[in-house]
Structure 1
Amino acid sequence: MTQTVLERLSPTNRVLKRAQYEAFAFSLYDGDVLVRNESHLKPAEHEYRVTVVDGIPTACECPAEERYEGPCKHRTAIAIRPKILDVATQMQLVADGGVRTENTPIVAEDDTDLQECDCQYLNDDFPCWECVKTGRRELPD
């Protein structure tokens, strides 16, 4: 029987709940994921790099990672969002000389990057938090 990423990480209930309800924003960074906690008054001070290895969020730069046993809420937040984890894994493959897949962000023909955000990876054309916050998209009725 194959374990899910979440089962492999085995976070505490407290960490799992926080990973579910806090407003996280995700960005790709050299094959890893930057996780920003938008729930804080100063989100820029609560942004941490999560290392992804073989499709598993294995390490985080946050203070809780060193202080407590088990995964932190940032690693868990990625584990419960398979689209984010899939995109990070696919970006690593492309960066390592792999083949582009349908979920890998593309570059426009004039070599300028297309406007990218997490919305393209969400179900039902639901906007990401960054697009709602910046006014680029509205929440559906």
Structure 2
Amino acid sequence: MNQRLPADFEPTSRVLKRAQYEAFAFSVLDRDIRVRNESYENPANHEYLVTVVDGIPATCECPADATYEGPCKHRVAVAIRPRILELVTKVQVAADGGTTANDRCEPAESDQCDCDELNDELPCWDCVRTGRKTLPKK
């Protein structure tokens, strides 16, 4: 479906689209990522912890992840954002007392967004919010 997604990730088209266009905010915690959906009137009621194992969003606390087959939109939202995965991996490595090769390098500045390489026509929320891209007209 998308070459950025792990091989065993098989989200439905609907889940992938929602993971791309909903207004997610990410907070990197010790070994997890808090995903908050700012698209709702009360975003605090739509905040879930995604656990990353070996660079893959493995589980989510949301009801959909436990109920439906395949990854939920929160796990997919993390999976399609390599910068978020990179940050949580660095935090995990640092928590274990190690370092990564990237710890010695400055991050490359780029105008390219993570959604530039996605197969679907929907841009990510950050691109819409900042005006870099617009949502397609129906």
| Unpaired stretches in structure 1, ≥5 consecutive residues | 105-119, 134-138
Letter matched to residue 56 of structure 2: I
The answer to whether structure 1 residue 67 and structure 2 residue 67 are counterparts is yes
- The 5 A counterparts of 1:38-117 are 38-99=38-99, 101-102=103-104
Could you report, residue by residue, the CA deviation over 1:39-68 in whole angstroms, capped at 9, with x for unpaired residues?
011001101000000000000000101110
Please give the alpha-carbon distance, in whole angstroms, between the structure 2 residues aligned to 1:31 and 1:122: 26
Cα distance, 1:31 vs. partner? 1.6
- The 5 A counterparts of 1:3-14 are 4-14=4-14
The question of whether the paired residues in 1 share the 8 Å contact of 2:6 and 2:56 is answered with no
- CA distance 1:98–1:51, shift in 2 (3 Å): same
Q: TM-score, normalised by structure 1?
A: 0.70
The question of whether the paired residues in 2 share the 8 Å contact of 1:60 and 1:74 is answered with yes
Letter matched to residue 22 of structure 2: E
- CA distance 1:80–1:4, shift in 2 (3 Å): closer
SS state of the match for residue 111, structure 2?
A: helix
**Residue 33 of structure 2 aligns with which residue?**
33
- Dislocated runs of 4+, deviation >6 Å: none
- CA distance 1:17–1:140, shift in 2 (3 Å): closer
Identical aligned residues as a percent: 57
Q: TM-score, normalised by structure 2?
A: 0.72
Q: CA RMSD in A?
A: 2.9
Please give the alpha-carbon distance, in whole angstroms, between the structure 2 residues aligned to 1:28 and 1:21: 20
Please give the alpha-carbon distance, in whole angstroms, between the structure 2 residues aligned to 1:96 and 1:52: 15
| Unpaired stretches in structure 2, ≥5 consecutive residues | 114-124, 133-138
What is the number of residues matched between the two proteins?
115
